[in-house]
Amino acid sequence: MELYEGTFLTLLRELRQQYNDKPALCCEGQSLSFFELLKRTEKSAVQLLKNGFSAGEKVVLWGYNSIEWVIAFLAVMSAGGTAVLMNYGIHAEEAGSLAAMVKAERLLYGTLPTIPGGALAIRCFGEQLSMPENRLMPFSSVTEAEEPDEAGMMLLVQAEQQIDVHSSQVIIYTTGTIARPKAVQLSAFSILNDAKACYELLQNDIGASVCNALPLFHSYGLLILFAYLSCGRTVHLTPVLKPDKIAGIITRNSVEDMASVGTVYEMLTRLPAFNETIAGRLNIGIVGGGVTSPAELIRLESIFGGTKILCGYGQTECSPVISVEKSADSLSVRAHSVGHILPGLTVRIFDSRRGFLPLGETGEIVVKGYCTMNGYEGVTGKDSPFDAEGWLHTGDIGYITEGNILHLAGRIKEIIVRCGENISPAEIEKALLSNENVLSVKVLGVPHAIWGESVEACVILKEPLPSLKQQQTAVVMQEQLRKKLSSYKVPSHIFFFDSFPLAMNGKLDRNVLLSQVKARLDLVSS
């Protein structure tokens, strides 16, 4: 793959030349052509520079998905700054703490109703960072700028000349479900080339438009935005991840593709008018984090009526996509893998004792190439995930098969150590999912005074059971597992849930679920 060496603004100018009046972005009744997207970005970048913005300045973006969010992001990039992407659902104290961690110097925020706590939260945020009021700015103060004069455009030219596309221009926080969030530093080079590689791999699959049902503060949402814009497609943004809103966007605009997490696809199927509004409409559905099982993939494709469900794999540290499936792949490949490693990217399987492993053998997934981050803000030395040879260690376990197909087998950090035995939650989850009435599973290790950790399973059933039958059913399921697994891998308890707690990005909130399991264990032991 030929690598792209341009800035975000360079890309917008190239897209304007190719697609000009074609719709680029749509959201809540607003629509911008590629021409308008470029012009509003230039005007907004000049407005920032006139407000005393300096190269390298770190600007927090805080608000729901919107056209204004995208323009503010592009303006910060074009003015030579660094965009710090904040989760729109967190409270001011946490937002301030995360912003202070990277020494942010300015805040751009969406309409106040979209910020938990409104004006008070903005004031609290500013006080935490000792940030003067003139640096706490609504998106509109930048995105509704007037046409710049010649002097203003010269400021923009000078700012762009100082941009190094390999320098850190985007900071995205890891979810923090395992530990304190880390501030991942990405560049224009890593983000735009990851998007370019995704398009090149999926160019025979993607349609004329996509419903980007993902938060833009998340690396996956940003990837979909630029992967589709980069090839002249129209991106429909969803302000929040509400199934009825998403369904409305798809039906009103005849959207051909969708990108989201598996939870959102499942929620769509539960809409009363799903068959009339969504089923049979979508060309492809790109799923970050994959689906829970081969059976679930087949079920989703059947319900969606011809939509090809394409799973992928990645992490924020890789901008974020490492592999993705294609619609031409067999059902077996799509059901049992996370797809093709992106063109031009080097991915190997590593074992600390044996080094790089051959095809088919399981070990840690390590990555080297255009998509890897510049590092974590403020983290160096032994805490860095890069080794001495420049390989990024993902912390995920997997293997590669013929055709550069990547398969996942679990996470190193999620390995459960019970009485000295290493146990993979993924193996137990797979065994539980073979039960036809099991919809979703999460297996956790919980601290135990004698064993080190106990194995605990959380299960959502397709057909929920009354509480009186749950204990009996759990015992039956444990007996079934003993026929498939070694005895030490069988969960000590199986707890039934109506749903799992989710983080703001639609993914499982592992910390909250772990707390809920501990509370149930306390009740069992009392």
What domains can you pick out in the chain, each with its CATH number? Answer: 8-163 (3.40.50.980), 188-412 (3.40.50.12780), 415-525 (3.30.300.30)
Q: What is the pLDDT of residue 177?
A: 36
At 525, give phi and psi (nearest 5°).
Answer: -85, -10
In the chain (526 residues long), the average pLDDT of successive 10-residue segments reads 96 98 96 98 96 93 96 98 92 90 95 73 91 94 92 94 97 67 95 98 97 95 97 96 93 96 87 92 88 77 93 94 96 90 98 94 96 92 89 94 92 79 85 90 88 91 87 93 89 94 78 92 83
**Per-residue pLDDT, 464:** 87
How much is the pLDDT for 449?
76
Tell me what pLDDT residue 382 has: 79
Q: Name the one residue in this structure whose structure tokens are 């030395």.
A: 381
Whether residue 489 contacts residue 455, with contact meaning beta carbons closer than 8 Å, is answered with yes
Provide the 3-class DSSP secondary structure of residue 459: strand
Distance CA 321, CA 189 (A): 14
**Tokens standing for residue 426:** 């993924």
Q: Identify the pLDDT of residue 87.
A: 87
Per the structure block, which two tokens stand in for 255? 């959207």
What pLDDT score does 197 carry? 98
Query: What pLDDT does 465 receive?
Result: 86
Residue 332 has a pLDDT of 85
Q: What is the pLDDT of residue 178?
A: 40
CA dist 160 and 5 (Å) reads: 13
Provide the pLDDT for residue 290. Answer: 64
Mapping DSSP to helix (H, G, I), strand (E, B) and coil, where does residue 425 land? Answer: helix
User: Given this model, what pLDDT does residue 176 score?
Assistant: 44
**3-state SS assignment for residue 86:** strand
pTM of the model: 0.85
CA distance 452 to 446: 8
Quote the CA–CA distance of 331 and 311 in Å, as a whole number.
Answer: 12
Phi and psi at 478, nearest 5°, equal -65, -40
DSSP-H helix ranges across 144-293: 150-161, 188-202, 219-229, 243-253, 262-269, 274-277
Buried b (16+ CB within 10 A) or exposed e, 213-234: bbbbbbbbbbbbbbbbbbbebb
- Mark out the alpha helices in 351-446 (DSSP H runs): 425-433
The C-alpha atoms of residue 269 and residue 55 are separated, in whole angstroms, by: 47
CA distances from 95 to 68, 84, 104 (A): 20, 11, 11
